[in-house]
């Protein structure tokens, strides 16, 4: 797959999954739901304020006759109800609606009703940037605040799993930092060097992993040549692993708002795929994220070993 459009086409060919949406009372969320349903990608269970959902649906010309709507007034309770629908087997995927990521994730991580597996959960965004010739991945923009070295191993593994599901056989993973040398005053560079060595020694499998690499060197062969940085990843990274949530979230939103990129984001490592986009993302972005969740749900049924 080279374009997010390919992802949509893939999802259209698969049997529709059921998506439970937490706090669905939002025009862009419902526009994405409407389009995903029209394209036969997914069916929906909506949780949230029913009168508001019905009003917005009317405004955008979306008859709700094929959608289940459950009235849950309180947004946090709506998140929990949407997550529980997955736990109870009524839905295959849960999706964040018009609610903060923190409130939504609290429900996903709920000890009793949540979707924890014991694995590290991480956010993986797939993006199509106007100046790139391929799909690339970014992690983690939304879940892990300041991951430890061990958590970074799992973040890489989760991203590699998604990359391979997209058809990137052996992803090139760049560990993003500010510089290309190890500086003990910059812990992200020492972590990157350790992770690169771990991959070299087979402790991280299925990918070429290199770092520390600054973003320009990771994605631009010209920048890599100019700075004389070699290696299997420099200039051709498929996956960008950032050191913390601030970097990830800022890159995600820079791609969206300043670079004109298309983007799709989900959480990996839970019992089921979890669609996590920004509240301000467009219906198109939310639709791509649903399609990515379809791919992840499909792969969960027939897992690939990394």
Ligand X SMILES: CCCC(=O)OP(=O)(O)O
Sign of CA dihedral 137, 138, 142, 143: positive
Strands (E), 167-226: 172-177, 208-214
- At closest approach, how far in Å is the CB of 141 from ligand X? 5
Contact between 288 and ligand X (CB under 6 A)?
A: no
Other C-beta atoms lying within 10 Å of the C-beta of residue 234? 26
Q: Any idea what the Cα angle at residue 300 is, between residues 256 and 165, rounded to 5°? A: 50
Burial class (CB in 10 A: 0-12, 13-18, 19+), 129: middle
Contact between 252 and ligand X (CB under 6 A)?
A: yes
String of contacts with ligand X for each residue 97-126, x by CB under 6 A: ---xx---------------------x---
- How far is residue 250's CA from residue 263's CA, in Å, rounded to a whole number? 14
Q: Which of 21, 56, 86, 141 touches ligand X (CB under 6 A)? A: 141
- How far is residue 264's CA from residue 125's CA, in Å, rounded to a whole number? 5
- C-alpha closest to that of 237 among 222, 252, 218: 218
- At closest approach, how far in Å is the CB of 3 from ligand X? 20
Contact between 249 and ligand X (CB under 6 A)?
A: yes
Map the footprint of ligand X across residues 71-100, applying CB under 6 A.
100
Contact between 283 and ligand X (CB under 6 A)?
A: no
Contact between 280 and ligand X (CB under 6 A)?
A: yes
Check: CB of residue 240 under 8 Å from CB of residue 214: no
- At closest approach, how far in Å is the CB of 205 from ligand X? 27
Total residues at interface with ligand X (CB under 6 A): 13
Contact between 279 and ligand X (CB under 6 A)?
A: yes
Torsion of CA 299, 88, 20, 91, to 10 degrees: 40
Q: Which of 265, 269, 273, 283 touches ligand X (CB under 6 A)? A: 265
Q: Which two tokens stand for residue 18?
A: 């059921």
* CB closer to ligand X out of 142 and 175: 142
Contact between 158 and ligand X (CB under 6 A)?
A: no
Contact between 256 and ligand X (CB under 6 A)?
A: no
- At closest approach, how far in Å is the CB of 280 from ligand X? 6
Q: Which of 188, 207, 276, 291 touches ligand X (CB under 6 A)? A: 276
Residues that bind ligand X (CB under 6 A): 100-101, 123, 141-142, 249, 252, 265, 276-280
């Amino acid at each position: 797959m080279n374009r997010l459009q390919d992802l949509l086409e893939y999802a259209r060919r698969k049997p529709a999954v059921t998506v439970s949406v937490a706090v669905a009372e939002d025009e862009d969320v419902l526009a994405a739901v409407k389009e995903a349903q029209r394209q036969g990608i997914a069916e929906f269970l909506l949780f949230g304020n029913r009168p508001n959902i019905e009003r917005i649906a009317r405004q955008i010309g979306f008859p709700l006759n094929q959608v289940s709507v459950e009235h849950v007034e309180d947004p946090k309770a709506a998140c929990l109800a949407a997550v529980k629908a997955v736990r109870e087997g009524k839905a295959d995927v849960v999706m964040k609606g018009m609610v903060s990521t923190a409130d939504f994730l609290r429900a996903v991580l709920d000890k009793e009703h949540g979707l924890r597996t014991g694995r590290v959960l991480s956010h993986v965004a797939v993006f199509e940037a106007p100046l790139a010739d391929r799909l690339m991945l970014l992690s983690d923009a939304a879940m892990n605040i300041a991951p430890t070295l061990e958590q970074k191993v799992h973040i890489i593994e989760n991203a590699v799993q998604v990359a391979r599901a997209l058809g990137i056989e052996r992803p090139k993973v760049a560990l993003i930092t500010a510089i290309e040398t190890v500086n003990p005053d910059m812990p992200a560079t020492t972590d990157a060097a350790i992770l690169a060595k771990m991959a070299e020694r087979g402790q991280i499998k299925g990918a070429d992993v290199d770092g520390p690499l600054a973003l320009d060197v990771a994605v631009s062969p010209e920048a890599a040549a100019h700075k004389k940085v070699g290696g299997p990843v420099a200039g051709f990274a498929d996956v960008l692993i950032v050191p913390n949530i601030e970097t990830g979230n800022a890159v995600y939103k820079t791609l969206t708002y300043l670079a004109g990129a298309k983007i799709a984001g989900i959480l990996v490592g839970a019992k089921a795929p979890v669609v996590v986009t920004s509240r301000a993302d467009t219906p198109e972005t939310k639709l791509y994220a649903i399609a990515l969740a379809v791919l992840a749900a499909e792969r969960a049924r027939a897992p690939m070993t990394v």
